Amino acid sequence: GPGCQALWVDGGPPSVTVSLGETVRLQCLHNSSRQDSSLNVTWWRVLQGNATWPDIFWSYSKVPHGELIISTVNKSHTGMYRCKVEEIFNHTVLNFQQSCGTYLRVREPVSRPFLDMGEGTKNNIITAEGIILLFCAVVPGTLLLFRKRWQNLKFGVDVQDDYEDENLYEGLNLDDCSMYEDISRGLQGTYQDVGSLHIGDGDVQLEKP
């Protein structure tokens, strides 16, 4: 480990997955055994299918901590990568260590939805839709009730009076009116006889009602 007085190289993650077109960074954590030595970090690609095949040199690492940076990855970058650290003193390689290897997976980019929103935003939109639907359902009915009530207050008295006048004769049987007509005819003859009476010798004549 890092506390030992020997060259140490971290094994690295077993695998890393990135999408097409992204930039990947593979780390090579290490520690030298002596302060007056220099370290040379190189990256190698492990060929799959035959363990006897030698690793293929990929690149030198000139960045701190020996990272391997691959920009705009594509399908051809898929494979196993391992770093090799050489400890050099007076132009002589004293020792070297290498990582276990990290398999790089390259996948197709995940299609993003048309409306890429968080869960909180989606919940707010659903709540707003519910309020709008409730408003559209309640307001027209409320306005209709107020309109009906206003019409009743404005026209209710006149309509009610006309309705009551129409109902005055609703239960009246027209056949029962013949008795009133017969009485009227009898009284009419009586009034005419009384009107033609002469009192005494004078020409007094009663007025007809």
DSSP output for 157-181 = HHHHHHHHHHHTTTS--GGGGHHHH
Domain boundary among 46, 76, 107: 107
Report the predicted TM-score, pTM, of the whole model to 2 decimal places.
Answer: 0.49
- Is the same domain home to 173 and 89? no
Structural domain containing residue 100: 8-107
94 phi and psi, to 5 degrees? -80, -40
- Is the same domain home to 148 and 102? no
Q: What is the pLDDT of residue 199?
A: 52
Distance of CA 200 to the CA centre of its chain: 111
pLDDT at 4 over 50: no
Give me the helices (H) in the chain, please: 119-167, 178-195
* pLDDT-wise least confident of 29-38, 76-85, 131-140, 191-200: 191-200
- Number of domains forming the structure of the chain: 2
Is residue 158 in a domain? yes
Residues counted in the chain: 209
Name residue 33's amino acid: S
- Is the same domain home to 57 and 123? no
- Is the same domain home to 148 and 189? yes
CATH number, position 17: 2.60.40.10
- Is the same domain home to 102 and 140? no
Is residue 72 in a domain? yes
Rg of the chain, C-alpha, whole Å: 56
Is residue 191 in a domain? yes
Domain boundary among 65, 83, 107: 107
pLDDT at 191 over 90: no
Q: Which two tokens stand for residue 155?
A: 């026209």
pLDDT at 104 over 60: yes
> What is the DSSP code (8-state) at residue 76?
G
Pairing of strands 15-19, 102-107: parallel
Kindly report, residue by residue over 132-157, the tens digit of the pLDDT: 888 888 878 788 888 888 877 877 65
β-bridge partners, 79: 104
Report how far residue 87's alpha carbon sits from residue 147's, in angstroms, rounded to the nearest whole number.
93
Is residue 23 in a domain? yes
- Is the same domain home to 81 and 33? yes
Residue 68's region, left for phi above 0, alpha for psi from -120 to 50, else beta, is beta
Return the biggest CA–CA distance within the chain: 179
